[in-house]
Amino acid sequence: MKALILNGGEDKSFQTVEAALLRDLEQRGLAVTALQMREMDIETCVGCFGCWIKTPGQCTINDAGRDVARQMITSDVVVYLTPVTFGGYSYHLKKVVDRFIPNILPFFRFYKKEIHHPQRYPNRPILIGLGILDKPDPEQERMFAELNLRNALNMEPPGFAAGVVYRSDSKDEISKKVVNMLDKAEVQNA
């Protein structure tokens, strides 16, 4: 079983949180890969829909974004680690999340009383959104939770969880929150 951490931090200040994630995922028997998105030269999606109607399932931009999309859909657990940015993901994380649309199909269908795209793959990863905030901010925390919920509606993961940690949290507090999130997303021991 594989886990993929996509670290969307602007600098190295997320290492404590990433380390807690790594430890807890490995303790559950998963082989973990952590990617530092700020270090990866990934073009942003150009909105051409080529990944749906020219090269179905594969982005037309031939760069590392393609490989991360493959790694994402072939993992069992994917963690979006990001500074909460105006309630959402940071640029460094979003540049690759936008490149995940090859992993869904172009067509429309009704799902939970809304129109969404069907899934391309029967096996999809559990999604975990872990945001980092300087201090409590109820409105941004609400948006971050809703964003992860809406992502789950569109990607239909077998399990998902979202939550935030604060920069002022101690290592123990961070560790507890991480364990709770993995439990909530039902990340089982491999």
Q: Determine, following the binding rule CB under 8 A, whether residue 132 of this chain makes contact with other proteins.
A: no
Angle (CA) 90-92-117 rounded to 5° is 80
Q: Contact between 41 and other proteins (CB under 8 A)?
A: no
**What crossing angle do the helices spanning 171-184 and 15-27 adopt, rounded to 10°?**
50
Which of 87, 166, 179, 188 binds other proteins (CB under 8 A)? It is: 87
CB of 172 to other proteins, least distance (A): 30
Residue 55 CA to residue 114 CA, distance in Å, equals 27
Q: Does 121 bind other proteins (CB under 8 A)?
A: yes
Q: How far is the CB of 4 from other proteins (least distance, A)?
A: 13
Given the complex with other proteins, which of 26 and 48 has the nearer CB atom? 48
Region of 84 (left: φ > 0; alpha: ψ -120 to 50; beta: rest) is: beta
135-154 binders of other proteins (CB under 8 A):
139-140, 143, 146-147, 150-151, 154
Nearest of 8, 72, 2, 62 to residue 40 by alpha carbon: 8
Say how far apart CA 93 and CA 98 lie, in whole Å. Answer: 9
Interface of this chain with other proteins, residues 88 to 117, rule: CB under 8 A: 88-91, 94-95, 97-98, 100-101, 103, 105-110, 114-116
Cα separation, 90 vs 22, in Å, equals 21
- Residues of this chain that interact with other proteins (CB under 8 A) are 44-47, 49, 52-54, 56-58, 69-70, 73-74, 85-91, 94-95, 97-98, 100-101, 103, 105-110, 114-116, 120-121, 123, 139-140, 143, 146-147, 150-151, 154
